[in-house]
């Protein structure tokens, strides 16, 4: 299954993140200084929590950075396949706390993608010079997963976090997003194919 999950938007961050409706109120203050246009991307981290019955496929977590005009006349985006980290970074207090029967993994941009995301940020900056606040940006996290075991009826929950030089700790972006419900909203039936190995 591949899910594109818009993660946050508030205040000044409206230009660099996505929908504010999905972010917990407690995270809004923690993200007040985060700006994708200026943050040190080498320090940017994403963490994903999924049920133990699901496995993320190799190279299965993607970050999509997009920019569009409010009138819909322009929509540009770049997709980056993230690299899984062996361990979560930071102190125990700064790390995500996994729920029971779940697993958490952290990801970062590949070093080879630094120039590409830098070029895209420059493109966004040029758009903002021309169009000002009409330019809206977003970050989306895509998860390509397979089923380790039979997926039981009921909610299939994921949680995502982001960590930057500005936030220091991992900040919740989506908590307990139900993949089954999101699929139903899109008029689809949740289908996670069995893992092959």
pLDDT digits (tens, 9 = 90+) for 144-173: 889 888 888 888 888 888 899 998 888 888
Q: Token pair for residue 162? A: 């982001």
Question: In this predicted model, what pLDDT tens digit does every residue of 52-104 receive, in sequence order?
Answer: 999 998 999 998 888 888 777 777 889 999 999 977 666 555 567 777 788 89
**Of 107, 139, 133, nearest in space to 121 by CA:** 139
Strands (DSSP E) contained in the chain are 2-6, 45-51, 54-69, 75-81, 83-84, 102-108, 135-147, 157-163, 171-178
List CB contacts of 79: < 8 A, sequence separation 6 or more.
Answer: 62, 63, 64, 142
Spatial distance between the Cα atoms of 150 and 193, rounded to a whole number of angstroms? 10
Q: What value, to the nearest 5°, has the Cα angle with vertex 9 and ends 8 and 14?
A: 145
Spatial distance between the Cα atoms of 83 and 60, rounded to a whole number of angstroms? 9
Question: In this predicted model, what pLDDT tens digit does every residue of 90-148 receive, in sequence order?
Answer: 655 556 777 778 889 999 999 999 899 999 888 888 888 888 888 877 777 888 889 88
Note the pTM of the prediction, 2 decimals. 0.79
Q: Where are the domains of the chain?
A: 2-185
Spatial distance between the Cα atoms of 15 and 37, rounded to a whole number of angstroms? 9
């Amino acid at each position: 299954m591949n899910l594109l999950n818009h993660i946050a938007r508030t205040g000044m961050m409206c230009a660099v993140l996505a929908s504010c409706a999905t972010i917990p109120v407690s995270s809004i203050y923690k993200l007040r200084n985060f700006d994708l246009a200026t943050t040190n991307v080498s320090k940017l981290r994403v963490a994903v929590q999924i049920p133990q019955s699901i496995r993320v496929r190799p190279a299965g977590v993607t970050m999509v950075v997009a920019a569009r005009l409010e009138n819909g006349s322009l929509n540009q985006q770049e997709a980056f396949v993230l690299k899984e980290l062996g361990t979560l970074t930071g102190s125990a207090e700064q790390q995500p706390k996994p729920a029971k029967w779940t697993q958490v993994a952290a990801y970062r941009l590949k070093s080879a993608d630094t120039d590409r995301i830098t070029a895209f940020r420059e493109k966004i900056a040029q758009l903002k010079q021309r169009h000002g606040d009409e330019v809206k940006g977003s970050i989306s996290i895509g998860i390509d997963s397979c089923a380790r075991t039979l997926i039981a009826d009921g909610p299939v929950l994921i949680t995502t976090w982001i960590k930057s030089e500005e936030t220091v700790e991992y900040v919740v972006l989506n908590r307990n997003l139900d993949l089954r419900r999101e699929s139903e909203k899109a008029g689809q039936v949740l289908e996670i194919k069995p893992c092959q190995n």
